[in-house]
Structure 1
Amino acid sequence: MNRLLTILILSLLCSGLYAQTPACCTSATRSFAAFASDKSFNSQHEIPLPYRHNSDIGKDITFPVEDGQAAHAYELRAQKPSPLWLFVFHEWWGLNDHIKKEAEKLYKDLGGKVNVLALDLYDRQVATTREEAAQLMQSAQEARIRSIIRGAAQYAGKKAHIATIGWCFGGGWSMQAALMLGKQAHACIIYYGMPEQNIEKLKSLRAPVLGIFATQDRWINPEVVKAFEQAMKAAGKALEVYSYDADHAFANPSNPHYQSEATAQAYDKTLKFLQRHLLGKD
């Protein structure tokens, strides 16, 4: 049943894949949100352990958005003025303290040379149960999220060089943000989120992409990954893919039972990718 659901959603998403025409109606992000109606998908996400993030360098901020409702984010400013930015996209739980911790880890491991902005796509709503997370992910408005991303780009400035990273729900939005950012996008990292499959949309992508996937994932499964690789190749875009013998959400920052070895390997690939494409280090 799960396999049939995945195939159905993927067929809707990729209806124009080989003909190189736009998918008719279902966006990649809405296709992923539809998984929340699958109880087995929901049960795959471990309830986050209680955690309170305290920081001397990170802070909660707001910034203006075109729709008039200010957006919320967690920000870590580079030690010296820098045009380099990393936009962090939370998983389906929302911008909780686990995501703030991961944002700060990335900030420190990048040497404090990059401004890190963890965007809140749920407008200060944070789930603590699977039911709440499913509801938040399904009710998230694409127009609002895109407004938040545009507002974040304006906040970073026209000269900003931006990389994106996200897990699960945020993985798909990491890729959508890279598409939206145009020439300002310098790197995109997607952890088992729904990738964009539409070749015409992918042709506008300016950033190289790193895809981290799990071979046991029943939703963003090997068939989805293969279709993504084919679409990126057809669009002539740079893609690195690493698939681990793990299940969906294996590296989620809030997962109390994450798979440490696979997570460590994926994180090493992530850092090297950011250092190469954002910091310009070989």
Structure 2
Amino acid sequence: MVPYHDTDAAGKEMNSLDFMDATTQTVRGAAQYLGRNGAKVGLTGFCLGGAVTIIGATKIPELTAGVVFYGIPPEAAAKPSDVKIPLQAHFANRDDWCTPQVVDAFEKAMKAAGKSLELFRYDADHAFVNEQRLSVHDRKAAELAWGRATEFFNKHLG
């Protein structure tokens, strides 16, 4: 267990994570379980979880739609051309991890591949949805993003 505010420990844990195993084993297993009775399954994640959502969009056939919050994996882990489901993505303009340039490249690659992407940018910082991080939380942007994500999932998951 990594304490929430221990960024050094969190960084070590994140760097040691096998993204592909976490996605293709753990997340796929959950998607298979949730969809066992024919239910449509969506995936969402924040930061690292956002990256896992994009990986899942390329590797997990049981998914129907995904919503990404400020996270993009390396292209070696998930090529935009391999995305198989509609995605919605929310990014912060003042993000020093998922920079606007990284977001631009992702958006361009998704469009070039003809993939379904709704992408929104907010005048906010990385983790703007996180109410526990008061220094970056942006209530107005978070509520707008949540509303959009809810509408997207309602549209694609029913």
Q: TM-score scaled to structure 1, two decimals?
A: 0.50
Cα distance in 1, alignment partners of residues 20 and 124 from structure 2: 33
Cα distance in 1, alignment partners of residues 57 and 132 from structure 2: 24
Amino acid paired to 2:60: L
Cα distance in 1, alignment partners of residues 104 and 134 from structure 2: 29
Question: Which residue number in structure 1 is paired with residue 12 of structure 2?
Answer: 135
- Which consecutive residues of structure 1, in runs of 5 or more, have no partner in the other structure? 1-124
Question: Which residue number in structure 2 is paired with residue 225 of structure 1?
Answer: 103
Q: Aligned to 2:64, which of 165, 181, 186?
A: 186
Contact 1:196-1:202 at 8 Å conserved across structures: no
Amino acid paired to 1:171: G
Amino acid paired to 2:19: E
Alpha-carbon distance change, 208 to 143 in structure 1, aligned in 2, over 3 angstroms: closer
Cα distance in 2, alignment partners of residues 171 and 143 from structure 1: 14
Contact 2:31-2:63 at 8 Å conserved across structures: no
Could you tell me how far 1:197 is from its partner in structure 2?
Answer: 4.2
Amino acid paired to 2:145: A
Question: Which residue number in structure 1 is paired with residue 28 of structure 2?
Answer: 150
Listed one character per residue, the Cα deviations across residues 205-230 of structure 1 (whole Å, up to 9, x for unaligned) are 22111110011112211111111111
Does 1:277 find its partner at 2:126? no
Could you tell me how far 1:253 is from its partner in structure 2?
Answer: 5.0
Q: Aligned to 1:246, which of 124, 127, 133?
A: 124
Cα distance in 1, alignment partners of residues 37 and 83 from structure 2: 18
Higher relative contact order (CA 8 A, sep 6+): 1
Q: Aligned to 2:112, which of 214, 229, 234?
A: 234
Cα distance in 2, alignment partners of residues 208 and 241 from structure 1: 11
> Which structure shows the higher helix fraction?
2
Amino acid paired to 2:59: M
Q: TM-score scaled to structure 2, two decimals?
A: 0.85
Q: Number of aligned pairs? A: 153
Q: Aligned to 1:175, which of 41, 50, 54?
A: 54
Alpha-carbon distance change, 177 to 239 in structure 1, aligned in 2, over 3 angstroms: same
Give the RMSD, CA atoms, in angstroms.
2.1
Structure showing greater radius of gyration is 1
Could you tell me how far 1:248 is from its partner in structure 2?
Answer: 0.9
